[in-house]
Amino acid sequence: MPKASVKNKKRMIVLMVLFGVFILYLLSNLFKWQIVKGAELKELSYNQQTKNRTISPKRGVIYDRNGTVLAESVTVETISITPKNIEKEDKERTAKGLAEILNLDYETILEKTQKNSADEIIAKKLDKEVTDQVRDWMASEKIKGINIYEDTKRYYPNGRLLSHVLGFCGVDNQGLEGLELQYESVLKGVPGQLVVGIDGVGNELPLNDEKYIQPEDGLNLVLTIDEMIQYITEKYLDQAVVDNSPVDYASCVVMNPKTGDILAMAVSPDYDPNTPFTHTDESMAEKWEEMSTAEKTTALQTLWRNRTITDTFEPGSVFKTITAAIALEEGLVTDIEKVQFNCVGFLDIEGWNMKCWRYYNPHGAQSLRKGLMNSCNPVFMSIALKLGKNTFYQYLSALGISKRTGVDLPGEVNGVIHAISQVSDSTIASASFGQGFTLTQLNMLNSICSLANGGNLMKPRIVKQIIDGKGNLIQEVEPVIVKQVFSKDTADKVVDMMESVVEEGTGKNGKIDGYYIAGKTSTAEQGRGDATTYAASFVALAPADNPQVAIMLTLMNPRGAQGHQGGAVAAPVVANILGEVLEYLEVQKNYETKDTIKKVTVPNVTNRTVGEAIRMLNSVGLKYDVDTSDLNQMVVSQMPLASETINEKSLVKLYLEGNDTRFNTTVPDVKNLDIVTATKKLSDKKLNIKISGSGMSVLQDPPEGTVVEQGTIVRVEFRPVGIDVE
Q: Quick: pLDDT tens for 631-654.
A: 888 999 999 988 888 888 889 999
**In the prediction, which pLDDT does 593 show?**
63
Length of the chain: 726
250 pLDDT above the threshold of 90: yes
CA distance 469 to 596: 47
**In the prediction, which pLDDT does 194 show?**
63
**In the prediction, which pLDDT does 50 show?**
47
Q: Where are the alpha helices (DSSP H) in 358-436?
A: 368-374, 377-387, 389-399, 425-432
CA distance 561 to 247: 11
For residue 697, the cross-strand partners are 718
538 pLDDT above the threshold of 90: yes
Kind and range of the H or E run holding 10: helix 6-31
Give 14's pLDDT tier (boundaries 50, 70, 90): confident
Give 83's contacts (C-beta < 8 A, 6+ positions apart). 91, 112, 113, 114, 115, 116, 117, 120, 145, 202
**In the prediction, which pLDDT does 201 show?**
47
Q: Which of 317, 696, 218 is nearest to 522 (CA)?
A: 317
Kind and range of the H or E run holding 108: helix 106-113
Contact 169, 175 (CB under 8 A): yes
- Name the residue type at position 47: N
% of residues, the chain, pLDDT over 90:
57
- pLDDT (tens digit per residue) in 148-203: 887 788 999 999 999 999 999 998 889 999 999 999 999 998 887 766 555 554 45
CA distance 157 to 155: 6
Give 228's contacts (C-beta < 8 A, 6+ positions apart). 584
3 pLDDT above the threshold of 70: no
**In 597-623, which positions are buried (b, 16+ CB within 10 angstroms) versus exposed (e)?**
eeebebbebeebebeebbebbeeeebb
**In the prediction, which pLDDT does 1 show?**
45
Kind and range of the H or E run holding 444: helix 441-449
Segment 304-325 mean pLDDT? 97
Angle (deg, nearest 10), helices 425-432 and 389-399: 40
**In the prediction, which pLDDT does 46 show?**
44
**In the prediction, which pLDDT does 176 show?**
96
Does residue 445 or residue 36 have the better pLDDT?
Answer: 445
Cα 332 to the center of its chain, rounded Å:
41
Contact 654, 638 (CB under 8 A): yes
Segment 90-104 mean pLDDT? 88
Q: Which of 325, 372, 318 is nearest to 574 (CA)?
A: 318
**In the prediction, which pLDDT does 189 show?**
87
Tell me the pLDDT of the chain averaged across its residues: 88
**In the prediction, which pLDDT does 287 show?**
84
**Range name among 135-139, 192-196, 323-327, 543-547 with the lowest pLDDT average:** 192-196
Cα 473 to the center of its chain, rounded Å:
25
Give 524's contacts (C-beta < 8 A, 6+ positions apart). 313, 314, 315, 316, 317, 434, 435, 534, 535, 537
**In the prediction, which pLDDT does 531 show?**
86
Does residue 367 or residue 716 have the better pLDDT?
Answer: 367
**In 171-186, which positions are buried (b, 16+ CB within 10 angstroms) versus exposed (e)?**
eebebbbbbbbbbbeb
- pLDDT (tens digit per residue) in 61-75: 999 999 999 999 988
**In the prediction, which pLDDT does 35 show?**
64
Phi, then psi, of 12 in degrees rounded to 5: -65, -40
Segment 610-626 mean pLDDT? 90
**In the prediction, which pLDDT does 49 show?**
45
Q: What is the DSSP string of 302-343?
A: HHH--HHHH-EE--GGGGHHHHHHHHHHTTS-S-TTSEEEEE
How many CB atoms neighbour CB 724 within 10 A? Answer: 14
- pLDDT (tens digit per residue) in 386-422: 999 999 999 999 999 999 999 999 999 999 999 999 9
Give 40's pLDDT tier (boundaries 50, 70, 90): low
Q: Which of 45, 49, 71 is nearest to 60 (CA)?
A: 71
Phi, then psi, of 507 in degrees rounded to 5: -105, 25
Segment 42-61 mean pLDDT? 64
Segment 499-516 mean pLDDT? 92
**CB-based burial of residue 95 (10 Å sphere; 0-12 exposed, 13-18 middle, 19+ buried)?**
buried
Distances, alpha carbon 109 to alpha carbons 51, 89, 120, 522, in Å: 21, 15, 9, 59
500 pLDDT above the threshold of 60: yes
**In the prediction, which pLDDT does 707 show?**
92
Side-chain half-sphere of 610: how many Cα atoms within 13 Å? Answer: 16
Segment 73-87 mean pLDDT? 86
- pLDDT (tens digit per residue) in 196-227: 555 554 455 454 455 667 888 899 999 999 99
Segment 525-546 mean pLDDT? 93
**In the prediction, which pLDDT does 405 show?**
97
For residue 524, the cross-strand partners are 535
**In the prediction, which pLDDT does 207 show?**
44
354 pLDDT above the threshold of 60: yes
CA distance 236 to 454: 30
Segment 95-123 mean pLDDT? 86
Q: What is the DSSP string of 129-147?
A: HHHHHHHHHHHHHT--SEE
**In the prediction, which pLDDT does 303 show?**
94
**Range name among 139-143, 480-484, 632-636 with the lowest pLDDT average:** 139-143
**In the prediction, which pLDDT does 39 show?**
60
Judging by DSSP bridges, how do beta strands 339-343 and 364-367 pair with one another?
A: antiparallel
